[in-house]
Structure 1
């Protein structure tokens, strides 16, 4: 499930600043990156299962591995984890209302905290 109109999509920001701001909101990059893309995850372990709020980003020119990149963020998504297959984002997934509200609260706060650091695209 994609979150629309969060104010996050198309934000352009320095990778090092982004790592810090994301961490403040429980979104961790860990090993989810390659030299052009990043993924930040916030894990929710609730009675309905394990879910991940994900924020994706990419760089046009830069090197994520060298911590030298300007990242453009994409639409955040919410997925459900199925062992051992991974994360599913499909239309048939059911996401509890309390989880959606928590994700929306995180994304609203994140959007506000990213604004002061946003670079011109």
Structure 2
């Protein structure tokens, strides 16, 4: 599921500052990047399954490998993991309301923090 119109998708920010803020909210980048893109994930293990809140971005200046990049954030996603196929974000997925609300809160808080240093 996409979290449309959060305001994050309009923001640009320094990669290192983003890494710090995302980590505060349990969103980790780890090895999920290439030279032009970053992905921050937070895993939720519930009785209904395993879900991931995913915040993504792409470099508009510099590159991720050098840790000197300006990242344009994209629309946040929530997906459900299916072993061994991966994460599905489709409209047909059923996401627990409490999880959706928790993710919206995290997105709002991240946005509030990023606004302080957005470019």
* Structure 1 stretches of 4+ moved >2 Å: none
Deviation at 1:62, TM superposition (A): 1.1
Mapped partners of 2:62, 2:83: distance in 1: 34
Partner residue of 1:23? Answer: 23
Mapped partners of 1:61, 1:117: distance in 2: 16
Mapped partners of 2:74, 2:105: distance in 1: 18
User: Deviations along 1:52-72, whole A, 9 cap, x unmatched?
Assistant: 000110012311011010000
Q: How does 1:1-121 map to 2 (within 5 A)?
A: 1-119=1-119
Secondary structure of residue in 1 paired with 2:98: helix
Deviation at 1:79, TM superposition (A): 0.3
Secondary structure of residue in 1 paired with 2:55: strand
Are the equivalent residues in 1 in contact too, given 2:61–2:71 (CA < 8 A)?
no
Alignment length, in residue pairs?
119
- TM-score (ref. length: structure 2): 0.97
User: Deviations along 1:29-71, whole A, 9 cap, x unmatched?
Assistant: 0111000000000100011000000011001231101101000
Mapped partners of 1:64, 1:48: distance in 2: 35
**Where do 5+ consecutive residues of structure 2 fail to align?**
none
**Where do 5+ consecutive residues of structure 1 fail to align?**
none
Aligned-residue CA RMSD (Å): 0.7
- TM-score (ref. length: structure 1): 0.96
